Structure 1
Amino acid sequence: MTIHAHIASLEKKHGALEEKLNDVLASPSADDTEIAYLKRMKLRIKDEMQRLKTSTRH
């Protein structure tokens, strides 16, 4: 898998997590633990995408 394909895959996962997070937040019985987990996962993916994008510039 090329770096660009990996970044595209991560962007797709990030978007799916964003949708899941929005669904959870819209629920009246939103679980704080699940919200925190989803936010951490989104941040990890975002950090990985940024790291990969930076490494392709050099």
Structure 2
Amino acid sequence: MTIEAHLATLEKKHFALEAELHAAMNQPSSEDQTIADIKRRKLRIKDEIERLRGSSH
């Protein structure tokens, strides 16, 4: 897999987690731990995206 393809995949996952986070935050039944987990996964993906972008320059 090329770096560009990997970046595209990570960006899609990041976007999906963003949507999942908004849905969880809008549901009163969502637990804080669930929201924190989504944020943590989103941050890991963002860090990986930034690392890959930095290595491709």
Distance 1:31 1:23 in 2: 12
2:4 maps to amino acid: H
Matches within 5 A, 1:1-58: 1-57=1-57
Report % sequence identity: 56
Detail structure 1 runs of 4+ shifted over 4 Å in the superposition.
none
Which consecutive unaligned segments of at least 5 residues does structure 2 have?
A: none
Cα distance per residue 1:5-31 (max 9 Å; x no partner)? 000000000000000000000001121
For 2:56 and 2:42, the matched residues in 1 are separated by 21
- Consecutive unaligned residues of structure 1, counting only runs of 5 or more, are none
TM-score relative to the length of structure 2: 0.97
The size of the alignment, in residue pairs, is 57
TM-score (norm 1): 0.96
